[in-house]
Amino acid sequence: GKLFSRDACLPGHTDSPPGAGGCADGHPRAPEEIAAADPGRDLCRCNLDLCCTLRKVKPLDRTLAGLAAWLNGRKGYHGATRIGLPAFEIEARRLKINPLRHWTRAEVDAWFAAHDLPRLPLEAQGFLSIGCVPCTDRVAPGEDIRAGRWRGQAKIECGLHNRTV
């Protein structure tokens, strides 16, 4: 895969956090489809859209199959394309809920502190928006929080949140 290891994200946390019942693992489950489309394992350099579709969009579609709604963690301070997110969207006949759309970085930090939630170790290393390993870079102080995603490319979203409605 092209994802950061689970241990790199939350060392020692192999299970869902308390109260997170019903969380699903959206890891790619079609290695043969990926192998056929990306035999040289370089799709992330030659066709970003297809790479994201195979490794992110399709796995999420499989995870959400049969569900009427899903919560996501998009926040308005995560770049210009996310400012003004609505509370609810209808996407692929499914309700998409954006409960954190108006939260500020300070509010997110305060929530983590108040609920004693672990922070991603990658965040302390400057990875403020985390995607796949080859398409995620550290963000320098003062840069937009998503500046490290697809650095140097025109791409700004992986496809999870900009589908045809």
Question: Are residues 52 and 60 in contact, defined by beta-carbon separation less than 8 angstroms?
Answer: no
Question: Are residues 50 and 43 in contact, defined by beta-carbon separation less than 8 angstroms?
Answer: yes
Beta strands in 37-161 (DSSP E): 69-71, 88-91, 94-97
Residue 88 token pair = 């609810």
Q: Assess whether 44 carries a catalytic annotation.
A: no
Under DSSP, the state recorded for 57 is I
DSSP secondary structure, 141-162, as one string: TTS-TTTTBTTTSS----SSSS
Q: From the candidates 51, 52, 135, 158, which is the catalytic residue?
A: 158
Question: Are residues 28 and 34 in contact, defined by beta-carbon separation less than 8 angstroms?
Answer: yes
Under DSSP, the state recorded for 89 is E
- 110: amino acid identity, one letter: A
Catalytic center residues: 158
